[in-house]
Amino acid sequence: MNKSIKPTVWRLRTGADRRIRGGHPWTFSNELAESPKGHTPGAPVVLLDAKGGFLASGYGNPHSLIAFRALSFKSQEQEVCETEYLQRQLVKTWWQRHRLGFKSSFRWCYGEGDFLPGLVIDRYLVHQNGQMGQVFAVQILTAGMSAILQEPTSFFENLVQEIKEKNLSDFSWEQTAVVLRNDVQVRRLEGLEIEAPRVLKTIEGMNLSEIDIEIKNQVLMTTDLIEGQKTGFFLDQAHNISLLCDQLKTMEFPEGIVRVLDLCCYVGQWSTQITHVLQARGLKVEVTAVDVSDHALSFAAKNIERQGAVVNIRNLDVLKDLGSLPDRYFDVVIADPPAFIKAKKDVPTGRHAYLKLNTSAFKMVRKGGLVASCSCSGLFEEAEMIDVIRKAISRGENEARCIQHGGHSADHPVLLAFREGFYLKMFVHHVL
Ligand SMILES: C[S@@+](CC[C@H](N)C(=O)[O-])C[C@H]1O[C@@H](n2cnc3c(N)ncnc32)[C@H](O)[C@@H]1O
| C-beta separation of 400 from 358 below 8 A | no
pLDDT in tens, 215-234: 988 999 999 999 999 999 99
CA distances (Å), origin 215, targets 67, 230, 233, 376: 37, 16, 10, 20
- pLDDT of 5 reads 79
Residue nearest to atom 20 of ligand 1 (CA): 317
Residue nearest to atom 11 of ligand 1 (CA): 264
* Ligand 1 contact, 264 CB (< 6 A): yes
**Percent of the residues in the chain that have a pLDDT greater than 90, as a whole number:** 97
CA distances (Å), origin 46, targets 53, 54, 119, 147: 10, 8, 20, 16
Half-sphere exposure of 354 (CA within 13 A, CB side): 32
Is it the case that residue 1 has pLDDT exceeding 60? no
- Residue 334 Cα: closest atom of ligand 1: 6
Phi, psi (degrees; rounded to nearest 5) at 163: -65, -35
Task: Give the CATH fold of the 83-217 domain.
Answer: Transcription Regulator spoIIAA (3.30.750)
Centre of ligand 1 from the C-alpha of residue 317, in Å = 9
- Scored b (16 or more CB within 10 A) or e, 124-158 reads bbbebeeeebbbbbbbbbbbbbbbbbeebeebbee
Residue nearest to atom 25 of ligand 1 (CA): 293
Residue type for position 356: K
- pLDDT of 3 reads 53
Centre of ligand 1 from the C-alpha of residue 288, in Å = 14
Q: Residue 209 — very low, low, confident or very high, per pLDDT cuts 50/70/90?
A: very high
Is it the case that residue 365 has pLDDT exceeding 70? yes
What dihedral do alpha carbons 288, 292, 293, 297 form, nearest 10°?
10
pLDDT in tens, 122-157: 999 999 999 999 999 999 999 999 999 999 999 999
* Ligand 1 contact, 374 CB (< 6 A): no
Centre of ligand 1 from the C-alpha of residue 269, in Å = 12
- Scored b (16 or more CB within 10 A) or e, 274-311 reads bbbbbeeeebbbbbbbbbebeebbebbbbbbbbbebeb
- Residue 262 Cα: closest atom of ligand 1: 6
Centre of ligand 1 from the C-alpha of residue 348, in Å = 20
Distance CA 109, CA 97 (A): 10
Is it the case that residue 353 has pLDDT exceeding 90? yes
* Ligand 1 contact, 315 CB (< 6 A): no
| C-beta separation of 256 from 286 below 8 A | no
Question: What mean pLDDT, rounded, does the chain reach?
Answer: 96
Centre of ligand 1 from the C-alpha of residue 338, in Å = 5
Task: Outline which parts of the chain fall under CATH 3.30.750.80.
Answer: 83-217
pLDDT in tens, 287-300: 999 999 999 999 99
* Ligand 1 contact, 265 CB (< 6 A): yes
State the burial class of residue 62 (Cβ atoms within 10 Å of its Cβ: 0-12, 13-18, 19+).
middle
Centre of ligand 1 from the C-alpha of residue 290, in Å = 8
Question: CB under 8 Å to 294, separation ≥6 — which residues?
Answer: 315
The CATH H-level (homologous superfamily) assignment of domain 234-431 is: Vaccinia Virus protein VP39 (3.40.50.150)
Mean pLDDT of 15-30: 97
Mean pLDDT of 34-55: 97
Centre of ligand 1 from the C-alpha of residue 316, in Å = 11
Mean pLDDT of 75-93: 95
pTM (2 d.p.): 0.96
Task: Give the CATH fold of the 8-72 domain.
Answer: 2.30.130
216, 225, 270, 291: residue to mutate for ligand 1 pocket, most atoms within 8 A of CB: 291
**Percent of the residues in the chain that have a pLDDT greater than 70, as a whole number:** 99
pLDDT in tens, 242-281: 999 999 999 999 999 999 999 999 999 999 999 999 999 9
Is it the case that residue 409 has pLDDT exceeding 70? yes
Centre of ligand 1 from the C-alpha of residue 262, in Å = 10
- pLDDT of 78 reads 76
Chain centre distance of CA 266 = 14
| Residue in 149, 151, 153 with CA at minimum distance from that of residue 141 | 149
Task: Outline which parts of the chain fall under CATH 2.30.130.10.
Answer: 8-72
- pLDDT of 4 reads 58
* Ligand 1 contact, 339 CB (< 6 A): no
pLDDT in tens, 187-202: 999 999 999 999 999 9
pLDDT in tens, 381-398: 999 999 999 999 999 888
262, 266, 267, 315: residue to mutate for ligand 1 pocket, most atoms within 8 A of CB: 266
- pLDDT of 216 reads 86
